[in-house]
Amino acid sequence: MVLKLKKIHNSYSLKKRESHHILKFGLFGFKILSFLSLSQLQVNTLEKLIKFKLNKIIPNKQKVKIWNLIKLNKTMTKLNSESRMGKGKGLIMDKSTFLCPFYIIFEFDNITKKHLIETFNYIKNQISFPIFIVKRYY
SS3 call for 50: helix
Query: Which pLDDT band, with edges at 50, 70 and 90, does 15 fall under?
Result: low
What is the number of H-type helices and E-type strands within the chain?
A: 2, 7
Q: What is the pTM of this model?
A: 0.79
pLDDT at residue 31 tops 70? yes
The kind and range of the H/E element at 106 are strand 104-109
pLDDT tens for 37-77 read 999 999 999 999 999 999 999 877 788 999 999 988 888 88
Give one DSSP letter per residue of 3-48, joined into a string. PPPP--S--S-SS--S--SS-SS-SEEEEE-S-EEEEHHHHHHHHH
The residue extents of the domains of the chain are 28-76+93-132
CA–chain centroid gap for 92, Å, is 20
Q: How far apart are CA 105 and CA 43, in angstroms?
A: 10
pLDDT tens for 75-97 read 888 888 777 777 777 888 889 99
Q: Residue 83 corresponds to which amino acid? A: S
Q: Are 99 and 36 in contact (CB under 8 A)?
A: yes
Superfamily of domain 28-76+93-132 in the CATH hierarchy: Ribosomal protein L16/L10 (3.90.1170.10)
